[in-house]
A and B are shown apart, each in its own frame.
Chain A
Amino acid sequence: MVTINELHRYGRTKLIMPGTSACPGCPLQLGMRYLAMALDARFAMVIPAGCSSVIPGAAPYTAFTVPVMHVPFASSPAVASGLRRALRIRGVDGPVVVWAGDGASADIGFASLSGSAYRNEDIIYILADNEAYMNTGIQASGTTPPKAWTTTSPRGKTEGRKDMSLIMIMHNVPYVATASIAYPMDFIDKVRRAASIRGFRFIHLHAPCPPGWKFPDNYTVRVARLAVETGMWILWEYNQGKLTISSPSVPYKDKGRRKPIEEYLKLQGRFSHLTKEDVEVIKANVDKQWDLIIRLTEIYR
């Protein structure tokens, strides 16, 4: 387990330099910083098109302190595969990390992600999920929740949501976990556990986006935490055949201990149009998801 003292030490280390072009309250900046803490800023990163193409700022400058390749939207798992293979041949060790959004992972880059996963390429894939195409201005993606407003779902998204992390388990990869920017110690531990394993490792990081979800800039962590506390986002870890619910989410196995889902929804303008019936559907989905994950912990034990 990462300790508070360790985090304090990193608090004084510039893992991301000043001058990024991230929006105020950006969850990706937090997540990227935790990632750098977890790997002691010693890794190579591949980033497909998305908010994180813009965040490091404009060339010839960059705010990132690790080697980074920005690559076409659908290509990052394949680029990382080649990168890692070549490094192995050259005898260079150290993690190769893909840092991709939900559009790049669940939609346009899905084939290439699936290909890399099934080949069990030796890479760490972080899906930083802000639940829509935020860089192009809030369009619905494969992970946008049903009913959520986006500019391409003006009356609420009519489709469901791809469960990317469960899809990845079915690729028979060694490590899959969910994480949240509101729980840095859990996320850092997961990155480190992933880094200690070889093969394809996938971490699905929940990243609430203030302008995209329409909540105030200073609520990013609060919204992310509420997602866990209401049971909307379940933190779990699948490690080489064993699936466990992670400690921050353990209390919420008990439905009675979950905060009311309305507390999560009401902070977000993207859900402001929901009817009572819509909220009931969302609640039923949360219960179903918990039921599924709890059953999976029994299967993968």
Chain B
Amino acid sequence: MINQSQVSGRGIRRIMVGDHAVAEAVKLARVNVISAYPITPQTLIVERLSEMVDRGELKADFIRVESEFSALASVYGAAAAGARAFTATSSHGLFYMYEMLWWAAASRLPLVMAVVTRALGPPWNIHDEHTDILAIRDSGWIIGMASDVQEVFDMTLTAFKLSEDERVLLPVAIGLDGFVLSHTTEPLYIPSQEDVDSWLPPRNPKVPYVIEPGGEPITLGNLPRMDVYHELHRAYMDEAMNEAKNVIHEVYGEYGKLTGKYYEPLVECYRCSDAKYVAVTMGAWSGDAKVAVDELRDSGYPIGLIRIRYIRPFPEEKLETYINGVRGVIVFDRDYSVGFGGVLAGELMGLVPSNVSFKGVIAGLGGVDVSPSDFRNVMVSFVNDVERDGYLRVRKWWYIPSVNGGD
């Protein structure tokens, strides 16, 4: 995480909400075309970007589209014509984009999108949940989840470098928890424009290809002569996803040199190297889980936390390394797959040896607050159960607070 003493002196410090941090990163990346449609809790991003464009602080075209579907379609078109392009959405808006998400990824064009995570209706609920962003996990987008406002900013800015890398050429989605990060003010270090420019040059419009009048008669997306071309194309996408793990390492290395802010690129290991038990989380509530881990460590529980930063590419090598040798793994999902369980639990379970205890916890849906003491209690009972019974394997367990005082 950030070591304040390492922070370069050329940038500035601000107090900012997560949505505005996204807009700052987009501005520093000198994005050419922006299109987005309002949806709570994403709206602050488009509002701030509109202001920046209007004031001339950001020399970009802002396309006021009639839907999220067209928002993604238009930035996709802009990317095909060689622009650096950005969109943002949330929940129902992300789902309205669904068809375009797949088309954009398989077109291998660089794009960046912020996803402010939010529950899906009914009932209408604007509060936080990760089910929306996890529903695009098979689409070919690189998916990161930030855990604080600084990381929201850093992930957004590095996303352009990552997406445009010739070894990757896949779109990148940055997840930030609705309200918990999008509307919460935190200190933010913003590097200088000169520093960013020296590291992130303007996009090369010819990479991977450009669609323009009078240009090379490239055809994108017509039927394949043999279906195996389709299969090969998807295998190449998968290769690029795998390569993206190395590129993420490189990009954060460069970014650290530039700004003094270093991250463990794919997965953060918090007090887990000597742990006998590990909890796994993703997103903003990881901060609360860390508080719980600290308290438990103080009481002698040998527990650590694995925080997933990028769920796509799936960081299985890192996760296996951290899981190796532990007695139990407990996964917290702020999402669900009805009839299956938590998405992260499902993805991780395959990496957890069958003789290691496992518990998948579904919690915090629809914005339900999960406090450090909630985390602590669930972690303690998991550790105690395993210690008492020797072994436990529960893929799905709903942690729902009792409803008091309701009519």
Interface residues of A (CB under 8 A from B): 42-44, 46, 53-54, 56-62, 64-72, 74-75, 77-90, 92-96, 111-112, 114-115, 119
A90, B65: Cβ atoms closer than 8 Å:
no
1/0 per position for B74-90, CB-CB distance to A under 8 A?
11111111110100000
A71, B103: Cβ atoms closer than 8 Å:
yes
List of B residues within 8 angstroms of A90 by Cβ: 81-83, 205, 212
List of B residues within 8 angstroms of A112 by Cβ: 66-67, 69-70, 73
Question: How far does the alpha carbon of A59 sit from the alpha carbon of B229 in the complex, in Å?
Answer: 9
Q: How far is the CB of A199 from chain B (nearest CB, A)?
A: 15
A59, B224: Cβ atoms closer than 8 Å:
yes
User: Which single member of B61, B70, B77, B222 contacts A58 (CB below 8 Å)?
Assistant: B222
Question: How far does the alpha carbon of A115 sit from the alpha carbon of B222 in the complex, in Å?
Answer: 26
A79, B73: Cβ atoms closer than 8 Å:
yes
Interface residues of B (CB under 8 A from A): 32-33, 35, 61, 63-67, 69-71, 73-83, 85, 99-100, 103, 205, 211-225, 229
List of A residues within 8 angstroms of B216 by Cβ: 67
Question: How far does the alpha carbon of A44 sit from the alpha carbon of B76 in the complex, in Å?
Answer: 15
Residue of B nearest to A73 (CB): B99
Question: How far does the alpha carbon of A44 sit from the alpha carbon of B214 in the complex, in Å?
Answer: 7
Residue of A nearest to B229 (CB): A59
| Interface contacts beyond A75-B100, A115-B65: sample of 5 additional A-B pairs, CB < 8 Å, sorted by A | A59-B224, A62-B219, A83-B211, A94-B213, A115-B67
B221, A69: Cβ atoms closer than 8 Å:
yes
User: Which single member of A56, A57, A59, A83 contacts B78 (CB below 8 Å)?
Assistant: A83
Residue of B nearest to A90 (CB): B82
Known contacts: A43-B213, A86-B85. The answer to whether A111 contacts B221 by CB under 8 A is no
Q: List 19 A-B contacts (CB under 8 A).
A: A53-B221, A61-B225, A62-B219, A66-B217, A67-B217, A78-B73, A79-B80, A81-B65, A81-B77, A82-B33, A82-B75, A86-B77, A86-B81, A86-B85, A89-B33, A90-B212, A111-B66, A112-B67, A115-B65
B220, A68: Cβ atoms closer than 8 Å:
yes
Question: How far does the alpha carbon of A111 sit from the alpha carbon of B71 in the complex, in Å?
Answer: 12
Question: How far does the alpha carbon of A72 sit from the alpha carbon of B76 in the complex, in Å?
Answer: 12
* Nearest 7 interchain pairs by C-beta: A94-B213, A82-B77, A70-B221, A86-B83, A115-B66, A78-B73, A82-B74
Question: How far does the alpha carbon of A68 sit from the alpha carbon of B221 in the complex, in Å?
Answer: 9
A75, B212: Cβ atoms closer than 8 Å:
no
A79, B74: Cβ atoms closer than 8 Å:
yes
List of B residues within 8 angstroms of A61 by Cβ: 225
